[in-house]
Amino acid sequence: MKVIDLHTASLKGKRVCDLPCGAGLFSKQLQDRGAEVYAFDIENVQPYCGPKEKRVLADANDSLPVASNTFDLIVSIEGIEHVENGSHLLREMSRCLRDNNSTIVISTPNVDSFRSRIVTIWKGYPKYFNPVDMENKTSGHLQPVDMVFMHGAAKRAGLEIVDIQTVPNNRDKGLMLWFQELVRPWVTKSLPGKMQDKIPFYGDVIIYVLKKSG
């Protein structure tokens, strides 16, 4: 909610999309802040705690069942890594966004972090994307979403990334933090400039804030 407060004014009377909504806990928080919440999810999660009047069962792999230029804010918490085509989802979000002052907030596992890179070296897969069998990955994840993909897919969808933040990991402190800072210039030197800083090097979760470009 802190990221949303940084980039939006009062939610009172605003049309907000929560996708995926899961059990509706965050949808309820948005409604309690005065938003008109439209909650989407592929599963009929029960018990459901959010506003039921505008809850819709929908597959984010398809077109969203809503008119263009509808929402002042679209929030997707840990959703884009669950769809088959993240580029399609961003295009749909862009279509449904009301105008250039409206906002999209997306969070996803931070596969560009130092910790995720270490996991990839040892296990062959980014953190949170290890296979549980020959057809499925942990937590129902499908595609790891890295920073380069997000920048390219956002641009193609007519969106601009206006802010990127990470959720701190409590283990990134003390001796471990000292070591990671020591090796950060070396392990990031071949990456684009925006990827050589502390974001996205730290944190298990990364948050993107987007608006319509132009």
Q: Has residue 4 got a pLDDT over 80? A: yes
For the segment 63-76, the average pLDDT, to the nearest whole number, is 96
Least confident of 84-88, 102-106, 129-133, 169-173: 169-173
Cα 191 from Cα 114, distance rounded (Å): 13
pLDDT higher than threshold 80 for residue 170: no
Q: Domains plus CATH for the chain?
A: 1-114+142-172+201-212 (3.40.50.150)
**Cα 102 vs. chain centroid, distance in angstroms?**
16
pLDDT over 90 (residue 144): yes
- Please check the confidence at residue 130 and state whether its pLDDT lies above 80: yes
- Secondary structure string (H, E, C) spanning 52-94: CCCEEECCCCCCCCCCCCCECEEEEECCHHHCCCHHHHHHHHH
Q: Distances from the Cα of 9 to the Cαs of 66, 91, 99, in angstroms?
A: 24, 24, 15
Q: Are 173 and 128 contacting, i.e. CB atoms less than 8 angstroms apart?
A: no
Query: How large a percentage of the chain has pLDDT more than 90?
Result: 86
